[in-house]
Chains A and B, each alone.
Chain A
Amino acid sequence: MSRIEVRFAELKSQNRTALIPFVTAGDPQPDVTVPLLHAMVAAGADLLELGVPFSDPMADGPVIQAACERALSHHVTLHQVLDMVREFRQQDKTTPVILMGYLNPVEVWGYTEFATAAAEAGVDGILTVDLPPEEAADFTAAMKAVDIDSIFLLAPTSDESRMRRVSEVASGFLYYVSFKGVTGASHLDVSSVSSKLNELRKHTELPVGVGFGIRDGESAAQVARIADAVIVGSVLVSQLADLADQPDRIPSTLAATVSGLRAAIDKTS
């Protein structure tokens, strides 16, 4: 079983919902990331989403765009992101790490070559937001060959046929985008998410995580009642931005936020 499967199985047996924090690798500077990942795990993160900086993050709002720009100002490449995962794995053998980003850095590296390097570094899953299943056959085959899960998005605009199509190619878990928009906006409507998830579960056995628009303990708790995982990004990245000049304070500050979210989620279970 993959680390992602093991983790979701453990959580299920404990009747708990996963908390998945997202940060951009190398934001605001490269040496912050690995200590930050460990601090978030200690504070209650179950899986980690590590953003791969990209120059043109079309699906992201201003907060994550700015994070990409901060990381890219230090020339953080996909190779360095894998180095960070490798370093993280020296101390943490169990927490799944999912890379999240855009296709082009992987495309330029080469799917097979990247997959080999990523598996060796200890990556468990990858989500490339601008790669829909229609274009993903070669990509998913390369990832599958090294047991890396290909995570795919579903959205409020996805109808039944798209739910089926995405479920066919996805592994690990499914990432449901809670509203029509970019990361960091706040249009979360829990009841519409809930009815969409009910529909989605008819087509998949995979765990379903919900992201976009989860801003605080209250919204995290609401989503935790209906999802298998709560994904939180822009709130954490905003804190990174505020502390860009005081990197020493980043791990403890974000850990406090993660543990607050953890407590709110656990109250619901």
Chain B
Amino acid sequence: MTNAADNTASSGALPDERGHFGKFGGRFVAETLMAPLDELNAAYQKYMCDPEFQAELDRDLACFVGRPSPLYFAERWSNEIGGARIYLKREDLNHTGAHKINNTVGQALLARRMGKTRIIAETGAGQHGVASATVAARMGVECVVYMGAEDIERQAINVYRMRLLGATVVSVESGSRTLKDALNEAMRDWVTNIDNTFYIIGTVAGPHPYPAMVRDFQAIIGRETRQQIMAMEGRLPDALVACVGGGSNAIGLFHPFIDDNEVAIYGVEAGGDGVETGRHAAPLCAGSPGVLHGNRTYLMEDRDGQIIETHSISAGLDYPGVGPEHAWLKDSGRATYVAIKDSEAMSAFHSLTLTEGIMPALETSHALAYAEKLAAGMDKEQIIVVNLSGRGDKDVNTIAALEGIEL
């Protein structure tokens, strides 16, 4: 059952009407974007309570995305680790291979109702770009995807997929040539083409209402998980684990469980070469609060407030900020944020692939690596749910190159 309108399981109290999660979030953009964001917020508020919109969203999630995604007991992998029983929420089985499509399907429906005829998006690993190009193709509208030049090199397959779907992929050469620069460039496009353009942000960051809106479209992950684990185990899990770049797959899983204090929540950031080396992408573990990309949140920044370059094996986690709701969950103590190194993620990638026949994305592999550690210290009666946020096909070239294998 995929009832997107049923949001009763989650706290839903935050953000406030101006988009604040405690001291985080808000709307920090130039004046030109304030009116378009008001317009977007009004449409989002209206349609989230509109039964016709929700019915269409439910149909798309069922028939186009392929929801509900299974909750799968990874028995061999759990046995090999020898601790808690680990369930995988199979977002990798969604159309286009990741959780990103849950959000782009929802925002596309909004775009159509708002009369927008052009879609733009930023992308890191390319999963959100592909998911945006997919819904644009289905709507028959123009789609422009901004992608850092460095990411274009390491995610060539997704770049080609976007082009096959009719999207224009614009290579962003400024700054660190990764996701944050793609976001800057998409914002510049939006401010120039506000009248006809809908900007589909792919994560729970950006100015209000994006963090709340993207969360609400992704919360289907947690709502399904709740029903599925109750059906399979008759109780809630002991722990949830998900990787966090901007944090949309994580918030999607976490949000419907926030009021269930018996469920521990772990967000896993990209530790790169190790947080102690400074070469990482773990703002919640090792950053400080600041303002970037329209919201106040934890950032990777120097003491002068300049954003510093991040490092991660996975393009989708290679981002110096994080969604403001995660910043709030960290400060409130409700969720715990940890970092996993590139090498640990690689090892978990191989481990899951070999024991379960499931090839996870490198982003997801960070969550899996932490779940391994966590499970090992728990007992067989305990349950962990890991969000298997995306599949690893896109990363095969990267992994081969890292291991010195020529394809």
Interface residues of chain A, those whose CB is within 8 Å of chain B, are 54-59, 61-62, 65, 69, 72, 77-79, 102-109, 129-132, 134-135, 152-159, 162, 166, 177, 180-182, 185
Contacts and interface: CB of A to CB of B under 8 A. Distances in A.
Contacts of B35: 157-159, 162
Interface in B121-142: none
B173 to A, nearest CB: 9
B291 A103 contact: yes
Contact of A79 (B18, B27, B291, B304): B304
Contact of A180 (B18, B192, B292): B192
A245 B179 CA distance: 31
A103 B28 contact: yes
Given A58-B187, A104-B291, A177-B31, 17 more contacts: A54-B306, A56-B307, A58-B184, A104-B290, A104-B301, A107-B296, A108-B301, A130-B28, A130-B291, A132-B27, A135-B28, A157-B31, A162-B34, A166-B31, A180-B191, A180-B193, A181-B32
A130 B304 CA distance: 17
Contacts of B188: 58-59, 61, 182
Contacts of B29: 58, 130, 132
Given A72-B306, A157-B36, A104 B292 contact: yes
B291 A181 contact: no
A155 B32 CA distance: 5
Contacts of B304: 77-79, 105, 108
A65 B174 contact: yes
A180 B306 CA distance: 26
B26 to A, nearest CB: 5
A129 B292 CA distance: 12
Contacts of B294: 130
Contact of B30 (A56, A72, A108, A155): A155
Nearest to A101: B305
B34 A56 contact: no
Contacts of A54: 305-306
A162 B306 contact: no
A61 B188 CA distance: 8
B59 interface: no
Contact size range, B? 35 or more
B198 to A, nearest CB: 15
Contacts of A154: 31
B242 to A, nearest CB: 26
Contacts of B174: 62, 65, 69
B303 interface: yes
Contacts of A181: 32, 191-192
A177 B32 contact: yes
B194 interface: yes
B12 interface: no
Interface string B15-54: 0001000000011111111111000000000000000000
Contacts of B306: 54-55, 72, 77, 104-105
Interface string B174-201: 1100001100100110011111000000
B293 interface: yes
A227 B321 CA distance: 39
Most buried by A among B188, B195, B296, B304: B304
Interface string B250-279: 000000000000000000000000000000
Contacts of B194: 157, 180
Contacts of B299: 104
Contacts, number: 122
Most buried by A among B29, B187, B291: B291
Given A55-B307, A58-B184, A152 B31 contact: yes
A58 B293 contact: yes
13 contacts: A56-B293, A65-B174, A77-B304, A104-B292, A104-B305, A107-B291, A108-B304, A132-B30, A153-B30, A155-B30, A157-B34, A180-B195, A182-B191
Contacts of A130: 28-30, 291, 294
B191 A59 contact: yes
Contacts of B290: 104, 107-108
B180 A56 contact: yes
A257 to B, nearest CB: 25
A61 B184 CA distance: 10
List the 8 closest pairs (A to B, CB-CB), nearest first: A105-B305, A108-B305, A155-B32, A153-B31, A157-B35, A77-B304, A181-B192, A104-B305
Nearest to B304: A77
A162 B31 CA distance: 9
Contacts of B26: 134-135
Contacts of A102: 291
Contacts of A131: 28
A10 to B, nearest CB: 28
B305 A106 contact: yes
B202 to A, nearest CB: 17
Contacts of A182: 188, 191-192
Contacts of B181: 56
Given A79-B304, A105-B305, A107-B290, A59 B34 contact: no
Nearest to A136: B28
Nearest to A106: B305
A156 B194 CA distance: 11
Contacts of B192: 180-182, 185
A56 B291 contact: no
Contacts of A152: 31
Contacts of B27: 132, 134-135
Contacts of A129: 30
Contacts of A134: 18, 26-27, 34
B31 to A, nearest CB: 4
A239 to B, nearest CB: 20
A58 B180 CA distance: 10
Contacts of A59: 30, 32, 187-188, 191
A170 to B, nearest CB: 11
Contacts of A156: 32
